[in-house]
Structure 1
Amino acid sequence: MLRRALATLMLLLAALVAGAPAPARAAALSIDIFGPGQSRVNMAFTEPLPLAPAPALPPEAARFATLVRENLGYLPFLHLVPDGEILGGTRMPGVVRDDIDMRRFQISKVDLVMTTGWQPGADGSRLECRVYEASSGRLVLGKAYLRVDAQGLVRVADLFCSHFMEALTGRGEFFRSRLAFSRREGQKREIWTMTPQGRDLRQVSFLGGASSSPAWSVDGRYLAFAHHSVWQHTLAVWDSQTNRIFETKVPGTTIGGMDFMPDGTLAVAMTRGNMDIFKMTRDLTRVGDTLVSNWAIDVSPSFDAEGRLMAFTSDRQGNPQIFVKDMQTGREERVTYEGKYNTSPSISPDGRLVVYSRRTPEGHRIFISDIQAMRERQLTFGPGNDEEPAFSPDGYFIVFSSNRSGAYKLYLTTRHGDEPRALETGGGAATHPAFGLRGD
């Protein structure tokens, strides 16, 4: 089993919005975000306030506070302290440090305090968000947003939470990402997208038949997927900017997974005699370089952020196992040695971890392997079958498909195996999840 890392990440205490100077020798707050049983950081929110004398706060103020709380609820290393637990209440005379009575938050064992200030305007409001360290009063993060209105409120909340997570962990892409997945309704399977919080649920393919195995381009603009119809097996690409789908007949007969490389080219596993992995030409009509070729079945390519490593599944040693290929040296190394059926690999953006599904006597379970230390750990424990894991762009979250509640739905956990959280995907079975950045 992979030993739990025992390290801490320092908060980035940068004064990004004007505020009072920090004490010269205050100790920086550090937090442990390395898995279940971790020490959680307590965070509280002051009441939203106007930035200048105004008749009332804009109606967006309360909704924004709710959105931020909902977003930050996805971070297992945070505990959001209810307002009623703050001795003396959460109403302050202002939003900067000198206006905040830090003692009441310290007594309530709060580590971080967030303030929001609003200035209504004719074309939307100015919003200022600050997060302070309760023990020292130092500014952890400060951001200002202009022309905030009801239509853009969700995006502003996501953007702030992305900046906040980045300040805590160094990576904040989760709140700037979206999911693609295949949803089955009746005899059809189409591709849908949504944010990982379950917002903006949208059907993007209307091709009939069965669409599966979605993969996002690095910039989030394109979404490639396989489409099976009664007559043929095709490769389709949805352009999120134009909302159009390009569909082409691939030179092979069957598609066994795909992934975009960092340079924008698409790697596809397809049958051309054997099931091998190929790089497609830019126009997706011809096969370019062969990436993996073997007498066996090779499927499910997955690249790290630099395109240096590619994880894939191969049965070259008698049953499906996970391998990683160094794209510079051409060396291929086996990752999994336990179990006789390991499939659906996803490699972390930094290339260190590979997550995959293994068939066990109790059903399919999600495992994660540190390919540098050659150690693995089980992440999920059912019930039902847990399959098709995929890393988020920040490498912290993992989405997977499971029938633990009956029909297959999507669930969210972390690379440390935190309690899976069900995602709302609408009716029908949801499978083949894939994370990508928002292209807009």
Structure 2
Amino acid sequence: MSIKPLRFSIVARVPIDGDRLEMANSYPAELPAMAGKGWPALIHDLRVTNLAGLDLKPALLGSAGWKLSRPVKAIATLRYLVDFAPFEKAGWSSPLESAVTDDEHVVASCRALFITTPAMEEADVQLRSPAGWLAVAPWPALNPGRHSFRAATTADLTENMAAFTSRPVDSVTASGFTLAITAMGHWAPLHSLLQETMHRIVSLEAGMMGSSGGGTYSVILVPTVDTGGEAYRQSFAYAFAEPTAENRGVWANTLAHELFHYWNGSRLQGEDYASSQWFQEGFTEYVANLTTLVGKIIGPEEFVAKLKSHIANYARLTTTLENIGTHKGPPLYSAGALVAFSFDAMIRHATGGRQTIGAFFRTLWRQTREGERKYGWPDIEGALRATAPGDWAGYYERHIRGSDKLPLAESLALAGLKLRDGTVEIDQSARPDARAVWNSMNARL
């Protein structure tokens, strides 16, 4: 409806089987307007009618959504306004989770835009914006000229960010994967470098997972002084204080990390969230490190420096990898990344470089039917065994489920590296098979 103030008008036709309307239950609660009320705090003038025009009189239930005046089994029409005034008044707090605007862009969380019902499955969406503006959606287009899209599931509908822009949108396509880049503020001058960087990342990661087409993704780069990122099903919002060509290795690693969550995190999901974060976050971080190395975004010495940083972070881990609870952070990310590096070194060493961590991920992807089935350790172990011989169960019992420290010196030695006084170095006297593993890590995922 308007950009200043930021308001949306929504009309939806949805199936209802019962008496409930819902919104996503993940919301930034640091604002008084949101705490305890959730996304419904932004909804105004909600009207719900059935096909006969009967008013179903929704009653607000706080963050849980609304209860209708009577249970129904029908197609209903919803009309309502979404007003982001609380976030605008707070200076666009939580821009990666809510909304943010400038003179040329509007970014909004789909969690805040869409009311859903338990009976919903897929959703067709048409986005309309002011004259001269384009809608950038993370969903596959049904009719690009009419800004019409299809979200395959309710989660795909709500767990994403939508953008609107009056500037041209950069598009990157590789390995059948299409990515749109919305670069706000101080990101805009990096237009060409962003395209080149994302093309390398998409090519390597989508190629590693064997993507054959149909994937869509939206990267939204926000111009705030803080640094942080938020990954969604098919989109990612990221802020970095001062992005330049010189610090590309830093921001490109985060972009590679969050893009890989498209596979490992959004689709590949553990049976138990807390005890699988060493894999979801740690292995994603290692793939990002390796992607920037193989993609020549960073050099071998920078990759070695990342391993050194992971070792320093891992030293602060006070639990086993599976017993982290809800306290994710650098120690766990780095511990998981070191496990991923160790597995990669073991795989490449055991197979003479014929197999890599990429082969393991493709196997796990197939075994879980592309993430349709959630994984547990037996699935990870099965994929490892199918990729290369090794004492995977013993490693898990000692170092992941158990409390034994990771055998870092041994793992590094397999890859032609050495650990000395907490510092990782390239071992100039490494055996030929170890040097071959190191050369393989520099060349392919």
TM-score where L is the length of structure 2: 0.24
TM-score where L is the length of structure 1: 0.24
Relative to its length, the structure with more strand (as a share) is 1
Greater relative contact order (CA < 8 Å, ≥ 6 in sequence) = 1
Relative to its length, the structure with more helix (as a share) is 2
